[in-house]
Structure 1
């Protein structure tokens, strides 16, 4: 069996075939999954031929195909159904990741390469809703993964601690508007935790999709949240990705949010080495967060458009936007407030991703006004 290439050095690597017990477990899970009516991308592209080519492989971190697809197998209602158990999984299991990436990221082929980082002119992005009639809040976030570590399903307990300690050192060095405090989940009072979750600042323990992916082991070890004094700049540690960098504030001033975000990312990346692939850009746990890994979103009140969700989703698709519930994926809208964000993150620059979101939200507000 030919060994797969590493995501970074392109040299042959891997740890050989999986055990008979692992193979039997994978076969049983796959056969059961085929009997479901799943509409996920993993169901669409994990044909028997692809499965047979990949079932024996193991990554440099020891991950198997089951480590990547087990969440989709256990949750047939998944939209994607696959996570990367570690950075090299994108190469070792490329036969399943590549078609899913091409489908989700709207035509990004296996021969394509993500462009170089380009934040654009920070002064060109303005306020989405100057009169404050529609946009409740605006946020820009990205995921980053730290060199030398697998992703959540393969992290050891000591690696969780190690990543947290690295990030505490980095975050304690932030200054100016970004200066703040780190709060570890381990030892956090229930009252503090519930308040931060209620304010949409703190992540909850993983949902069933992350649980099934083995992404919530050793909870709450190594997890925590950093925020500045005004709670307009946050960093999540070891939630879904190693780190999530977030800039947010009430209202629709995307320009101010984006400037703060770029400043925070730049300061953090000066002090910690993150994983970036020449082809796929920044590598993260979920293939939807490749490339720029940027998700720019608004919480927005659009009662007229939302009265016809089919039409709203058609408009969103036209501008490469994604409509989700108030608390994000797999949630419902509360009080008529929807979370709308850019869908494309791969194959375009950071500046283009932000501009695409800006144009789409401006158009949605225009249509809401005229409805």
Structure 2
């Protein structure tokens, strides 16, 4: 029964779940011109101590209604926040100042962090609706195979053959880099063959499995946005082999200065994202970046993400849920998640403009559980950092090294 339910979840396309009021045009990736983030100059900084403790962000987020009262940041303030630190494998560190070009400033709603009210218990709301992806046909195929594990205990997503998008707090607590981030590694989930035997290339069995994997991948393109029922659903058991991680060292890490606070500064949850450059490129498929649409443009109002939750050892965990609230930079939702899944890329599946095919793109980074001030009352959410046009431009600059490839998103 569980196997049947999981197959139904995988195969039902998300657009079929609408109430009929949305049109196909509503669920299309709308390409727009992106402002450019251009590197201006780079200076060397002192090497960090790598003494911070890894963990959840201990913060309270300014509520949505108070965000409307905050003044919109000036261009110089945005450029200060989008300037970025780069930490290299040998422990050296630099700061790169940037200029923003082609930006039209509009009134925005911003979030800020005020106090410290961490919740230590589970980040699962009510009935646990997560799926453990244990079957090789799913775990090693797109989109699930884009999820990776960080040696600091977080998750991330491959966004190029040698780049991983994750949360900034997975490597930096706002004051210092976390312990273990100096020798940071990224693990890609692999399935070992039973008995450790290697299959001969070109064997009939290998070809049959390749054909099966291709068929499974085709099925996965029809991934759902349907929410599971009340009971907790876990995926089918592994049919072949055991999971293990193939680890790769990180060559460099980029973090926006908006996340790195001074002695008297506060955390800015809007900038809780980071990009890792791997020493060795992967042959895995990766997920493209996309600009986060508004809630009204989400098929069924839902988002998806996969990560390695701490309470399910070495299991890839998939979930989806509706977005409850949004601000300019954050998504507030109740997707069931445990520590370890933070840093996961939140993705959508929308139609390509003028084409029949649909494509998944990363539109946010899961930051974790936070308390939010809502009309003077503390309310808790699981929060994600949206990829805005400016953040798209910055992350794209990190990936490509120049702004020329980042004009549209």
For normalisation by structure 2, the TM-score amounts to: 0.26
The structure with more strand, counted as a fraction of residues = 2
More RCO (CA 8 Å, sep 6+): 2
